[in-house]
Structure 1
Amino acid sequence: MQKVITLKDLCLVTKTAPMAADIHGGRAKCLQRLIRLDMPVPTTVAISFDAVRAIAAGQGADIPQILRHFEETPLLSVRPSSMDPDWGGPGAMLNIGLNDAKHAELCQSLGEDVATRLYMRHIQSFAVEVARLDPEEFYLPDHPSQDALKAMLATYESEMDAEFPQDAGEQLSEVLRSMARAWEGTTARLLRQAKGAPADAGLGLVVQEMALALGAGVSGSGVVQFVDGTTGCKQVIGRFVPQAAPTASLRDSKNAEFLSRDKRGPSLEEQAPEAYQKLIEYGELVRTRLREEMEIKFVVRDGALSILDGIRLPRSSRAAVRIAVDLAETGVIAKEEAVMRVKPAALSELLHRQVDSSAKRDFLVRGIAASPGAASGRLVFSGSEAQASAARGEACVLVRRETTPEDIRGMHASAAVVTLRGGVTSHAAVIGRGIGLPCIVGAADLDVDERKRCIKVPDGRSFSAGDMVTVDGTTGQLLAGETAMLEAALDDGFQTLLSWADEVRDIGIRANADTPADAQTARNFAAEGIGLCRTEHMFFDGDRIDLMREMIFAETSEGRAAVLERLLPLQRSDFTELFRIMQGQPVCIRLFDPPLHEFLPVGKAGMRELAELLDVPLAQVTARVDDLSEYNPMLGMRGVRLGITVPEIYEMQARAIFEATVAINAEAEAVVPEIMIPLVSAMREVELVQSRVDSVAAAVHAETGVEFDYRLGVMVETPRAALRAADIAEHAAFLSFGTNDLTQMTYGLSRDDAGKFMSDYVNQHVYAEDPFHTLDLEGVGELLQLGAERGRQGRPDVTLSICGEHGGDTNAIAFCRAQKFDYVSCSPFRVPVARLSAAQLAIEDKKDPR
């Protein structure tokens, strides 16, 4: 049954008209607000979402009810009015109602050339946009004439088998039908869904009396902004085009003039000072009364000003922060509202360099956007090449099939990283986010020939080592050449906004930091401590990996202890520096986790080098590598299992932690280190490690005579640990859920291989989202909830947190707040995002305490 279009669906926009953005669209509602501020807005009729849907379905619009609000022979415009202007919509149609009679009338008032050009442009727009005729047939000549006009009308009649409509109502009816159908088309639906609009998003239309920008005096169209949309700084920006219709291309017009006085050319302020002053007043009025920075479209005719439209100022992430803070600091909005106005993703953009949105992109291949930011550099294919490039002072992009812990030094030396394999929690992705390195993973369409040191992209082009490329880790695009960038922007507005966020959030935010550099970044971003320090990453720096390899080849416990004795001062120095940087804030140190085979070379060349280093036969090295290999190393001899079977490693690390604690306590505020046991699945594992750690603590106390405290806890990353959390918590001061491995084990899904098919799973709705990117609140979340409840049963005061890559995700933070977790921990560069997300969740809860 077709909907009947009623008078409510065709609403004259007045101060008191019953209108709403979710019925008539944002543009219509904004026009009503401008009218309420007594601005000179031309007569406007708003058509509701429901009416537009009915028109698209074939029902005719009630044209007489619309036209009754305008003069007898009107000139009208129609513009789209959706809920969100970012969702797009059909283009505006102008000068509806222009016909032979109106053309003759305009010839008298405006002159034949101007009137004829106006009429021909209208015929062209109507033929192409409404009648869907071939644009080539309706070319607009440089010098319109009566003969050219007659020829264009004849072409229309020939193509349509009907004369160009002379009735304003008929023109308007066809325009409304065309725009309504365009919105409901499949292509339009897909485009707006890609921008985040719901599939059934409605479109309103506004029919407005044309304010002609043509006249004898100062006349023209313009657009004005009162704040720079890129920087957020106060500035009158815009253009005024004399004797020009109001179009979207005003800024690009060759005839455009300045608004404010400018040495470079004429301005509206000089030619029509009263109209200019009114614009300035209107800008301040909308800012204070509508509590927003707006972009205003206007027309001046013979010096008189008309306001056609007002929209929320399009803005960059940098400008969004500055505008929100400025509105709050000047009392226009509250601090909490300023916090709510900035999207967390906007902060992520500010923390990193980004590809300039206006820059030309030479696209090569797309992968998974694993770590945001952008960088350009010359292609390299190994960690050693990256280090050599950095030593020469040359930026480089490291391309690998997949990275391993052995590549960490190369990653630190690179400007960006690209891998063919992996997902959002693969090694490259985690390290990239941790150190703020732009990273693309899972670029499976990229063909890498490591022997020839070149890549081949899908369009057939090849790039060799040394060629310049750009990595856009925000979008997952690899680009050819060096692309224009926008620098990171951590200004006072950024810091102010986050300080307001900290005033209202109710959950702690820590950082995952593995090195002193990571810890300093965490401090700079105001993290409330370190929630996860992965100590194994420290063993890949410098000569440490050689010591680790020597320890692996030791035959006895004494031999291993002797090698670890040489690592002890290096570990102690690491922890001392971490404690010093964090200045008394908590530091949670995860004991050694990865399987030992990760420290051994893979290729023959590397094995020969190791044999030479250790002065042993190559066969012995090969045999040891084979002995340590596992079918599934992520489920094998790693974490606490290694700590129990090779206890010397954990004993050395515990000693290093306690000796660093003693050293720092002598020079600064006392620290209470948190020692975390990884991959626990049974209470007895905790008991065994606890007894060894306690004995080391007693020994250090006896040797130094210094009292110190520490906390021992567990990283819950196996389903069994979550289920047995009550037993485990009896021996653990804290339970920190490692959601990366917990997701992997819950799903029985390799996080490094999932990228090969995850997009198909998400597209076919097997999973709502990639569970390694967005925390699975149903499955993994239930384990978290059970683990938290049972952990509190075993120890009511147990500290609860998550420290996986989900820690900075808004949904995960919301879940942790609901479960009364104490804090979340995430990569240092996600700390500001997490602080803002947590604050917004707390503010929303205040509004709706349910």
Structure 2
Amino acid sequence: MATKAKKSAKKRAGKIQYVYEFGKKTDGDSKMKELLGGKGANLAEMARIGLPVPPGFTITTEVCTYFYDHKRSYPKTLAKEVKAAVTTVEKQLGKKFGDTKNPLLFSVRSGARESMPGMMDTILNLGLNDETVEALAQKSGNERFAYDCYRRFIQMYGDVVMGVQPESENDHEPFDEVMSQLKKEVKASEDNDLTVDDLKELIKRYKALIKKKTKGAFPQDVYEQLWGAVGAVFSSWQNERATIYRQKYNISAEWGTAVNVQAMVFGNMGDSCATGVAFTRDPANGEKVFYGEYLINAQGEDVVAGVRTPNPIAMLADEMPKSHAELVKVCAKLEKHFKDMQDFEFTIEDTVLYMLQTRNGKRTGLAAVRIAAEMVKERLINEKTAVQRIPADSISSLLVPVFDAAAAKKAKPLTVGLPAGPGAATGHIVFSAAAAERHAEDGVKCVLCRVETSPEDLRGMIASEGILTSRGGVSSHAALVARQMGKVCVCGAADVEIDYAKKTLRVGKTVLKEDDYISIDGTTGEIFAGQIPTAPSEVDQVLNGKLKPAKSYTFQMFDSVMKWADKYRKLGVRTNADTPAQATSAVAFGAEGIGLCRTEHMFFEGDRITFMRQMILAGDETERRKALKKLLPFQRKDFTGLFKAMGGRPVTVRLLDPPLHEFLPNDDAARRAVAEALNITPEVLTARIASLHEENPMLGHRGCRLGISYPEITEMQARAIFEAAAACLNAKKKVDVNVEVMVPLVGFAKELKLQSDLIHKVAAEVMEAKKVKIKYLVGTMVEIPRAAVRSAEIAETAEFFSFGTNDLTQTTLGMSRDDAGAFLGDYKELDILPQNPFASIDQAGVGKLVELGVEGGRSTRKNIKLGVCGEHGGDPASIKFFHGVGLNYVSCSPPRVPVARLAAAQAALA
């Protein structure tokens, strides 16, 4: 690992401190997340503000860095610091670690600075052995509780530390198999039905399993257990699921994780005990309600693992009214202090409440918008904080389709589960992560159906349209991860029976097989057999005039956030659009112009493709001009429609860019039809097509090279643009026009000069003929490295630059975006590329060329307009970069416009 954390250690005066305590003696606070991780920093903060936190200590992220830099060893002073911290906890609680009279037990958990739920390892009940378990039984007066804790500890330690795991993805968990066999023998249906003697027998069998699988014995020395657990947590920072998660959410591998060692409190001592996970607001829809789940007589992993479906937190008011009232007060205190929705874990031990952790809660996009908007109204936060708090990408979840109301009403739900991730998802049923990945690779939509999900299912969850589980609640792993990903999710559908062996999903008498269609509604929890058609979201319906704003609270919140974003952003936001319908949609989403109109997309409809092929296959300029004359009215009509749709907003029209062979037919039947239309023989046609063949079309005869070889093409397109503009300006209902003509693939200043002179000549002719003054600019798309390097020279002619970062990435990295998928996964795992460079701009490489282009352009033409029109224009991380280098605008596809507006505001406020 890299050594950023070590550098921060050197900055602190004196001896490096690797262990920070929390409890009555608290060293850290919530501002120390880089060093203590999110969990450790917040435990310290909760202790500071007087919440009932079991004492413990945090081993810093610097130790994780040291661990990987020094062949999995530790700093020399660490053991002494850990021993001292254990002694502090012992004194606070009057218990001793490893004591045979009053034993102290610990939980050992990870804690990265960014929350990574379920991705790293956890150990509970550490400190139990054959002697301390007897002491715990005697001290608690509850022998069953003690041996239940011991069997849980052996199972977790055997799995996480000693590596007793399934040998393949189709195998069952070894410990679960042992328990299932014992339950069968003693006729116990639930874990809680096992007697003390049953648990003792289970422990014996667990130890034998460990011996068989590892050739080693389960450790009895408590400090050996502690260091084994600490090492396992540090090691889990580099496990597969943690690595995949970091890649998805761009969490740096350099950060490392902290380890939190905390005194155990017990929710499984009897009916006066409970454990739960709660939120200060509903993480699915953002409503301000005390929301969560709990289980009586259980430990924390029972709730989050989805092994048992827990009770809604409201029921706790009846079962434990005093504890419920305390939790309500804790909610208010947490929100007031942290000023954000909190997700916290709690345990009630013999009616006494303890807080085990808190963090800013993962939430859906809908919830993120609602919570931010309502917290502004409540004066908990201001508009700027609200804008910064909503993940920009999550705003798009307010625009995703929902099930068509009429169709859903006609369809009868199979059953209803817990709504955990809003939206509508339809797809083929799959029962494994591997199957979901295979479907995604084939471009087939699927819904991942599991009894409960585990962190190992992460790849499948990413690949699926939606997630359905038969067990687990709204705080289960499936729900938590789905909310963060913006996935549609229904959890805890108890009526759903999933049989992995038979690959079936049964609800009552209805049996669905793998690859059958299923539809799930993550807003209502409803589950349907088959496909249900979808309808636009509420926001979409308001923007398209099909729903009044007053009838949609969702739209009102969306509108508030967008207005705040527009108030603070500096970057303009345009759209990539080729048709009036796309343009109209983008304007409704807040686009301020068109940053890229791809004219080649206009040539494929109806007769146009025939005339286009006539032009391409023409034997000389006369024939070419003849075909171009037929294309001119089509292009003029298209541009007229775009200009009207944009109503005076700038429209950047890119001249013909792709190589000509892309317009030609590939199969024999289509070639015969074209030959007949052109009145030539198929053999002549085939010969002409062969003459246009290029070894590398991406680098071949395309872009401005076409316009230089065949100036008549540029001339026709320019004439269509300016005649359309003149028609709008001269119409009875005058439409203002703001045209920007973009010449693609320029690498040499003279290329642009030749094309620009021709465009200006045509513009002058049209303006004189139509007696009109047209406002226009001529510029270029910077998409090859030479253009960025020679930008100062090119800016002598160019009135604007638009960085075409898709092709600029291809030409700079020497990678095809169509073929890079074969190795990009390996590159991300090996940290060669932190993310897909076609999704988020390679700032260190391609970004440097953008900076060079900006600097050169402005050195020649101080007020040159600078934008970006690749899909990077809709990526929040890229937008932050573009803001930083001083571009005037970004351009992206219409549905990404709200994302870009919000991301641009966040960049400005950062």
CA change 1:237–1:650 in 2 (3 A) is same
Is the 1:241–1:250 contact (alpha carbons within 8 Å) kept by the matching residues of 2? no
Aligned partner of 1:181: which letter? G
Report what 1:581 is aligned to. Answer: 645
Q: Is structure 2 residue 231 aligned with structure 1 residue 181? A: yes
Shift of 1:105: 4.9
Aligned partner of 2:111: which letter? S
CA change 1:495–1:248 in 2 (3 A) is farther
SS at structure 2 position matched to 1:579? helix
Report what 1:117 is aligned to. Answer: 144
Report what 1:337 is aligned to. Answer: 385
CA change 1:9–1:822 in 2 (3 A) is closer
Report what 2:155 is aligned to. Answer: 128
The one of 61, 75, 99 equivalent to 2:133 is 99
Report what 1:11 is aligned to. Answer: 21
Q: Is structure 2 residue 114 aligned with structure 1 residue 80? A: no
Report what 1:327 is aligned to. Answer: 375
Stretch deviating more after TM superposition (149-158 or 542-551): 149-158
Is the 1:296–1:310 contact (alpha carbons within 8 Å) kept by the matching residues of 2? yes
Inter-partner Cα distance in structure 1 for 2:832 and 2:349:
59
Shift of 1:809: 3.9
Gaps of 5+ in 1: 108-114, 162-168, 261-266, 378-415, 417-437, 439-466, 472-480, 845-850
Report what 2:337 is aligned to. Answer: 289
Q: Is structure 2 residue 94 aligned with structure 1 residue 46? A: no
Alignment map for 1:562-577 (pairs within 5 Å) = 562-577=626-641
CA change 1:27–1:609 in 2 (3 A) is same
Is the 2:106–2:125 contact (alpha carbons within 8 Å) kept by the matching residues of 1? yes
Aligned residues: 723
Shift of 1:588: 0.6
Alignment map for 1:186-225 (pairs within 5 Å) = 189-196=239-246, 198=253, 201-208=256-263, 210-211=265-266, 214=269, 219-225=273-279
Inter-partner Cα distance in structure 1 for 2:855 and 2:908:
22
The two structures have a TM-score, normalised by structure 2, of 0.70
The one of 858, 873, 898 equivalent to 1:807 is 873
Inter-partner Cα distance in structure 2 for 1:731 and 1:146:
86
CA change 1:121–1:775 in 2 (3 A) is same
Inter-partner Cα distance in structure 2 for 1:627 and 1:709:
41
Is the 1:96–1:122 contact (alpha carbons within 8 Å) kept by the matching residues of 2? no
CA change 1:29–1:695 in 2 (3 A) is closer
CA RMSD of aligned residues (A): 4.3
Shift of 1:578: 1.1
String of CA shifts for 1:408-466, please: whole Å, max 9, x gaps.
Answer: xxxxxxxx9xxxxxxxxxxxxxxxxxxxxx9xxxxxxxxxxxxxxxxxxxxxxxxxxxx
Is the 1:718–1:741 contact (alpha carbons within 8 Å) kept by the matching residues of 2? yes
Shift of 1:681: 3.5
Q: Is structure 2 residue 285 aligned with structure 1 residue 231? A: yes
Inter-partner Cα distance in structure 2 for 1:153 and 1:537:
68
Shift of 1:670: 1.6
SS at structure 1 position matched to 2:701? coil
SS at structure 2 position matched to 1:122? helix
Is the 2:147–2:196 contact (alpha carbons within 8 Å) kept by the matching residues of 1? no
Alignment map for 1:729-808 (pairs within 5 Å) = 729-759=795-825, 771-808=837-874
Alignment map for 1:498-537 (pairs within 5 Å) = 498-537=562-601
Report what 1:445 is aligned to. Answer: none
Inter-partner Cα distance in structure 2 for 1:119 and 1:822:
66
CA change 1:273–1:744 in 2 (3 A) is closer
Report what 1:165 is aligned to. Answer: none
Inter-partner Cα distance in structure 2 for 1:592 and 1:155:
73
Is the 2:22–2:28 contact (alpha carbons within 8 Å) kept by the matching residues of 1? no
Is the 1:120–1:152 contact (alpha carbons within 8 Å) kept by the matching residues of 2? no
CA change 1:773–1:183 in 2 (3 A) is same
Aligned partner of 2:290: which letter? V
Shift of 1:587: 0.3
Aligned partner of 1:689: which letter? Q
Stretch deviating more after TM superposition (614-623 or 713-722): 713-722
Inter-partner Cα distance in structure 2 for 1:817 and 1:153:
60
Inter-partner Cα distance in structure 1 for 2:338 and 2:715:
64
Inter-partner Cα distance in structure 2 for 1:780 and 1:656:
34
Stretch deviating more after TM superposition (251-260 or 306-315): 251-260
Shift of 1:512: 1.8
Is the 2:56–2:262 contact (alpha carbons within 8 Å) kept by the matching residues of 1? yes
Is the 1:213–1:299 contact (alpha carbons within 8 Å) kept by the matching residues of 2? no
Shift of 1:672: 1.9
CA change 1:127–1:774 in 2 (3 A) is closer
CA change 1:224–1:631 in 2 (3 A) is closer
Shift of 1:304: 5.2
Shift of 1:617: 1.6
String of CA shifts for 1:181-231, please: whole Å, max 9, x gaps.
Answer: 211336854443333253562332232252556567x55333332322222
String of CA shifts for 1:342-375, please: whole Å, max 9, x gaps.
Answer: 333434555546886998556458599999x995
Shift of 1:824: 2.5
Aligned partner of 1:89: which letter? M
Inter-partner Cα distance in structure 2 for 1:495 and 1:365:
36
The one of 737, 748, 754 equivalent to 1:671 is 737
Shift of 1:586: 0.3
Inter-partner Cα distance in structure 2 for 1:635 and 1:80:
53
Shift of 1:606: 1.6
Matched residues, percent identical? 34
Inter-partner Cα distance in structure 2 for 1:585 and 1:203:
52
Aligned partner of 2:91: which letter? R
Aligned partner of 1:9: which letter? V
String of CA shifts for 1:485-530, please: whole Å, max 9, x gaps.
Answer: 9996854344433332222222222222222232223213212211
Stretch deviating more after TM superposition (51-60 or 276-285): 51-60
Aligned partner of 2:125: which letter? L
Shift of 1:302: 6.4
Q: Is structure 2 residue 760 aligned with structure 1 residue 659? A: no
Inter-partner Cα distance in structure 2 for 1:812 and 1:549:
38
Is the 1:376–1:468 contact (alpha carbons within 8 Å) kept by the matching residues of 2? no
The one of 682, 686, 689 equivalent to 2:752 is 686
Is the 1:355–1:374 contact (alpha carbons within 8 Å) kept by the matching residues of 2? no
CA change 1:289–1:619 in 2 (3 A) is same
Inter-partner Cα distance in structure 1 for 2:697 and 2:208:
75
Aligned partner of 2:263: which letter? Q
String of CA shifts for 1:233-277, please: whole Å, max 9, x gaps.
Answer: 3333333433444444279576854432xxxxxx32234434323
Q: Is structure 2 residue 700 aligned with structure 1 residue 636? A: yes
Stretch deviating more after TM superposition (703-712 or 138-147): 138-147
Stretch deviating more after TM superposition (801-810 or 498-507): 801-810
Is the 1:116–1:144 contact (alpha carbons within 8 Å) kept by the matching residues of 2? no
Q: Is structure 2 residue 46 aligned with structure 1 residue 34? A: yes
Inter-partner Cα distance in structure 2 for 1:156 and 1:745:
58
Gaps of 5+ in 2: 1-8, 96-101, 165-173, 212-218, 402-422, 448-464, 466-486, 488-514, 520-528, 540-553
Aligned partner of 1:210: which letter? V
String of CA shifts for 1:809-844, please: whole Å, max 9, x gaps.
Answer: 455444443443222223333333333333222222
Inter-partner Cα distance in structure 1 for 2:294 and 2:838:
51
Stretch deviating more after TM superposition (488-497 or 642-651): 488-497
Aligned partner of 1:280: which letter? V
Q: Is structure 2 residue 663 aligned with structure 1 residue 599? A: yes
CA change 1:374–1:625 in 2 (3 A) is closer
SS at structure 1 position matched to 2:738? coil
SS at structure 2 position matched to 1:736? strand
Report what 1:716 is aligned to. Answer: 782
Is the 1:512–1:532 contact (alpha carbons within 8 Å) kept by the matching residues of 2? yes
